Structure 1
């Protein structure tokens, strides 16, 4: 029977486009899955996200998803032996992103067949060394191995395309074997045991984190002229030095050190955030001259828990020095 003339029939639903993102991305995050037996794996899947489940074995059907580019097995129960099948699944050898973060791995898996890999993440495992990285493709752009038991930076020399290297929360004592990483833009080495800075002439790097190490000096940064963000908090640094050449620096964090004065940043005209809290800076005398180049640019300043905060009219003085400041310690200004 035809519908009444004032009621339009529903528009037929078009068949799903096999190339649309909704079809190509299968997100099974936090589904408490122990296996994938009840899950249909479409051959057109481009991205498979299995984060935060209870998986301990790899479903062999994954190895037949020839269009798969991104695979996340993050936060599951995979051991090294459980992920070994990956090394033989040639149908997915064009994989570009593999995330094995937060599992039970005790070594770097064999990824030699993945010749187009761009992102590899094995953070939050129990990996005792970087042995095995030599087999990972030199196409890699992002490598994450934080929160493991790694004592030495090695087997990374072939990563000429690498842009992000994350090795925080390991057992590193020395910065080494970085000289070939000429395209590196971000280096994250916080929470290690590093005593001195050696960046091997990395002139393209934009972000460096060496927080919570054993540094006593800033020397070694002078050639990093592209640097925009520098994080050196929670060390034993006594003097600000080697910073005057870092003319692109926007963020400088030297909180929780042993500084008694603000030095070597007069020429930094792009500095926006300056974190000096938890040091031993005695007074505000000379502060305007010390930060002369960025007086107009600076928007965030932390000085709390320094003796200088006991200066009468402390906030008022700083607001006069920095006319565009938006935050001093915990105080925000409109």
Structure 2
């Protein structure tokens, strides 16, 4: 079924009036067109996962949306979400997105999940003052740049499988960061500026190219760190270094180090 009518949606949801519907689950419907949602102006939660969407233009009138999932579609752009000023959660993972510029105007966003796309650079997210979760894993980003320089609210950040060679000073303003995932990259060294992320509790550095203790010594300044993954880094096979890591983190509860 490639097309749905608003009448069919109402029937499926035992509703008589589209304005009375606040939640819709329209997954696995082979949808390529969502213009039928134009009259569902009070929708707050919408799940469109696993369809054939190439555009979100049909959502422009759904101005009350707070939660939106468009996972596993065929989107190359997020055009159409700019007017969704109440949106707090957007999950657009597993699409064909190359840019996230359209999210800049959605200042209400708290969670932005864009894993497994084709995003090669991150625009500045300065306006997203309430953003606390950002997932960009499995995108060819390579550099974080200044995208997060003014985003102080982030607590969870995932950049695994992003071809990163380092994080430099790009996270120094993320002072609320508690969970950082950087596995499966090409990171050689942790910058001294990481000490500014003093609330870090979980740090995943598995499958990188860290070779020496000097590239990790900032860890001893992360006194709140509880979970650390260094598995499959050259450094994780050196007993002398692993002892230094454990000594530097006397309060850690769970550390994955190659045996």
Report the TM range for the smaller structure's normalisation: 0.7 to 0.9
Counterpart for residue 208 of structure 2 = 257
State whether structure 2 residue 164 is matched by structure 1 residue 215: yes
Q: 1:94, 1:253 → 2: CA distance?
A: 40
The counterpart of 1:284, out of the listed 239, 246, 254, is 239
User: How large is the Cα RMSD of the aligned pairs?
Assistant: 1.8
Deviation at residue 294 of structure 1 after TM alignment: 3.3
Residue pair 1:266, 1:289 contacting (<8 A) in 2 also: no
Deviation at residue 249 of structure 1 after TM alignment: 0.8
State whether structure 2 residue 38 is matched by structure 1 residue 73: no
State whether structure 2 residue 175 is matched by structure 1 residue 225: yes
| SS at structure 2 position matched to 1:285 | helix
| SS at structure 2 position matched to 1:85 | helix
How many aligned positions are there?
Answer: 245
Structure 1 segments (4+ residues) deviating >6 Å: none
Unaligned stretches of 5+ residues in structure 2: 11-16
**Greater CA radius of gyration, 1 or 2?**
1
Question: For residues 58 and 272 of structure 1, do their structure 2 counterparts lie closer, same or farther at Cα, with a shift above 3 Å needed?
Answer: farther
Q: 2:78, 2:227 → 1: CA distance?
A: 35
| SS at structure 2 position matched to 1:71 | strand
The counterpart of 1:182, out of the listed 106, 114, 129, is 129
Bigger RCO of structures 1 and 2 (CA < 8 A, at least 6 apart): 2
Which range is displaced more, 98-107 or 183-192? 98-107
The counterpart of 1:116, out of the listed 64, 70, 74, is 64
After TM superposition, the score normalised by the length of structure 2 is 0.88
Counterpart for residue 75 of structure 2 = 127
Deviation at residue 115 of structure 1 after TM alignment: 2.1
Q: Which whole-Å deviations, capped at 9, do the CAs of 1:206-256 have from their partners, x for residues lacking one?
A: 000000011001221111110010000011001122321111111100000
Q: Which whole-Å deviations, capped at 9, do the CAs of 1:19-42 have from their partners, x for residues lacking one?
A: xxxxxxxxxxxxxxxxxxxxxxxx
Q: Which whole-Å deviations, capped at 9, do the CAs of 1:132-185 have from their partners, x for residues lacking one?
A: 2223x1111001111111111111122111100011111111111311111100
Residue pair 2:30, 2:52 contacting (<8 A) in 1 also: yes
Unaligned stretches of 5+ residues in structure 1: 1-53, 310-334
The counterpart of 2:37, out of the listed 73, 82, 86, is 86
State whether structure 2 residue 107 is matched by structure 1 residue 160: yes
Deviation at residue 77 of structure 1 after TM alignment: 1.5
Counterpart for residue 95 of structure 1 = 43
Residue pair 2:208, 2:233 contacting (<8 A) in 1 also: yes
Q: 1:217, 1:123 → 2: CA distance?
A: 28
**Greater helix percent: which structure?**
2
| SS at structure 1 position matched to 2:36 | helix
Counterpart for residue 249 of structure 2 = 294
Question: For residues 109 and 101 of structure 1, do their structure 2 counterparts lie closer, same or farther at Cα, with a shift above 3 Å needed?
Answer: farther
Which range is displaced more, 144-153 or 240-249? 240-249
